[in-house]
Structure 1
């Protein structure tokens, strides 16, 4: 069996005071974060996403994965030493792990899938009602077959479910790679009518994340890239 992985979702909110720092100092602090992320990504899975414009309570999400918890721990220790983190807080944090799904009729990857990233990642923690776990296994399988069949109608969405039982407060972390958020909206609306939905206790907060490089995600924090583009346009018009 392939090796299972721990997966960590870290959502950061940056204080307004950071945006008032001189541009050179902000650039230096962003470079520290880039270096920390790139060092981890040399040996492990790391993706960054911007939430500027999609959430009001966080600005950046870092998604990491490794076969053991130690590299994830060490990465966050290094990250906390970056000056930018002195102006940020962890708004949300979810720890989970991969495991084979008892309902899937196809092999499920236990490591993050390289090269299958969508333009967007929709993430949320999830809890099932306790009644769900008291159902016979064959009954749960019957209910989930309908759920899976609905999901397969939406071919532009790739589901990444990880498990948190005993590791964190939630039971699952569900993440969906997609290129069209409207397709995901339609999927969720359709799933509301399925029997499996009646056994969901909670699936919020929901995060619509825009995938981008570390540098671009950090530039979105202070609009540095947008400012540079406006200045370049102004020079061209002179």
Structure 2
């Protein structure tokens, strides 16, 4: 699999999919219903949440009180205080194939190694490469990178475009976003920064609230988010990364769902359509879903010809 970079883990936390500060799908930070509308506050009828760790304590991403012996081997322990005290940004960049790739495997491997080396030089953490070609008619490749600086992510984007492999690609869509400390429960983190390892499938989409959402009384919004979270209780296995994109893109949020079974990604979004908070959605497309794989394996799937 591509370099793991990034933080992730299993998440069975108190419910809510919209975190306390308007997080659209904040299916908690990691489970699709994983946080309470007020970021960790107990809700009537909801499981009693385990207390957030004290500052400086490590814990399992997306898994309050999780048994370390049962931790998914792809996941790791992170210190949420440290994560919140440092900058974390994400770039989803989508490309389409516009020219055939070299047919011989040696040339393919050379191009891939050159690009990976250039990316490594930028300092970007590669969350994954995803084949989106069967899910979209207008795109073929999704790159997901993480970094502590937007400059690093821009350098990574340029490294892709300026590489030998990049000559065969054309940009389709991208969104840059970053971790914003949750207003009501600062220890709620996006899956990608909370020790949760990448899953086999990912789906990313932008999210904008309706204009009137921000004029609603806080109690009204909190109640809707609470019910939204309760509605996602059966999808805590879906890992969610909700990141803020205010001012750095046309969107307010970017949301990425991850799971080893694409059917679970479909299920959680279908389930979360049936809540009142959905009415206050202004935009949540385009959607890019794909299967995670090594970049060389993706290249081998592309049209090729002798050079």
Shorter-chain TM-score range: 0.7 to 0.9
| 1:162 maps onto 2:237 in alignment | no
How far apart are the structure 1 equivalents of 2:200 and 2:262? 9
Q: 2:272 maps to which residue?
A: 191
Q: 1:124 maps to which residue?
A: 205
Deviations 1:24-82 (A, max 9, x none): 544432332232344456x6354221113222211111111111112112222322221
Q: 1:32 maps to which residue?
A: 114
Aligned 8 A contact 1:40 1:46 in 2: no
Deviations 1:195-235 (A, max 9, x none): 110001121111112112232233333489xxxxxxxxxxx
Q: Give the number of the structure whose residues are more often helix, by fraction.
A: 1
| 1:219 maps onto 2:219 in alignment | no
For normalisation by structure 2, the TM-score amounts to 0.65
How far apart are the structure 2 equivalents of 1:136 and 1:218? 51
Q: Size of the alignment, in residue pairs?
A: 220
Q: 2:162 maps to which residue?
A: 81
More displaced 10-residue stretch of structure 1: 163-172 or 183-192: 183-192
Q: 1:100 maps to which residue?
A: 181
| 1:13 maps onto 2:96 in alignment | yes
Q: 1:134 maps to which residue?
A: 215
Decide whether aligned partners of structure 1 residues 115 and 212 sit closer, same or farther in structure 2, where only a CA change above 3 A counts. Answer: farther
Q: 2:129 maps to which residue?
A: 48
Decide whether aligned partners of structure 1 residues 115 and 191 sit closer, same or farther in structure 2, where only a CA change above 3 A counts. Answer: closer
How far apart are the structure 1 equivalents of 2:138 and 2:215? 36
Aligned 8 A contact 1:37 1:214 in 2: no
Instruction: Give structure 1 stretches of 5+ with no counterpart.
Output: 225-238
Aligned 8 A contact 2:96 2:140 in 1: yes
| 1:144 maps onto 2:208 in alignment | no
Q: 2:13 maps to which residue?
A: none
Q: Give 3-state SS (helix, strand or coil) of 1:153's partner.
A: helix
| 1:204 maps onto 2:288 in alignment | no
For normalisation by structure 1, the TM-score amounts to 0.82
How far apart are the structure 1 equivalents of 2:134 and 2:297? 14
Shift of 1:6: 1.3
Shift of 1:115: 4.6
Q: Give 3-state SS (helix, strand or coil) of 2:100's partner.
A: helix
Aligned 8 A contact 2:109 2:296 in 1: no
TM-align CA RMSD: 2.4
Shift of 1:146: 1.1
